[in-house]
Amino acid sequence: ISKQPLSDALMGNPRSFLMKPEEIDSWLGAHDAYKAGGGSSDRGDWLITFDGGPHQVGRVGRGFVLVPNWGVSTMTATTINRLQALAKKLQPDGLFARFLTMLAQIDRAPDASIPEQEIAKGRMLYTQLVTALFAMDVRACIIVNLSSEAREVYEDWWAKLRGKVAAMETVSEGLAAHLGKGANHLARLALTDHAVETGFKGDEGFTVQVATMRRAIKLLEALWGHSGVVYMGLMGQGAGFELARE
């Protein structure tokens, strides 16, 4: 999808939407990632979708339009073989680094120890939460703050991460770029956890607590274990990548 149809879609969807291309390599190829000389002019616009917010877009024959929320969530997948074939074509512009990566386990049978009624209850609660969040007025200016304790934990974690990013640049430029997005990724995970926990209601509905921040840090660092395997695999290193292939 190019920026012109994307701008049309976002103009009519200020909440944005979720894109689910089947393969990340085909998604990148859709905006000229594979063409000689680098990516298309749309790549810069796609990079900005990571941040969201107002964005002015120039469209052929139609002038410029201001899109209220130029942000898109993208969930995609690939195979180990395709990812290695993609490695040499990835540009160092941070597009791939914006993705949180996860290595999926081999298909296995559902956990039969969980009662069906508990699964049904979980689905019902999830549906109620998503419905309530969707009902919120997207035109309202909603500000979510960190509690003093959550902010302290966040800033301490980020200060330590900056040193790790600097050290990683000599090992893997791609992984360093990915870790460098850590502050943004952590804030998003914490906000998502907070939305699930509070639904933005009650006295604490707009203040992220320290327990939420610590859960988000734990999740992000667990995902980094997956990222390490992926990025080392892109360099042709790491036994974990070979295990993932199998």
Residue 208 φ then ψ, to 5°? -75, 125
d(CA 108, CA 121): 23
Q: Which tens digit of pLDDT belongs to each residue from 11-47?
A: 888 888 888 888 877 776 665 544 445 455 677 888 8
Residue 224 is predicted with a pLDDT of 93
Q: Which residue matches tokens 């074509």?
A: 89
The residue ranges of DSSP E strands in 109-155, in sequence order, are: 145-146
For 39, which DSSP code? -
| Of residues 81, 54, 51, 56, the one with CA closest to residue 3 | 56
pLDDT 10s digits, 139-169 = 666 789 999 999 999 999 999 999 889 888 8
Pairing of strands 207-208, 145-146: parallel
Alpha-carbon torsion (39, 49, 83, 177), positive or negative: positive
Q: How far apart are CA 191 and CA 220, in angstroms?
A: 13
Helix (H) or strand (E) holding 57: strand 55-59
> Poorest-confidence range of 89-93, 142-146, 180-184, 198-202?
89-93
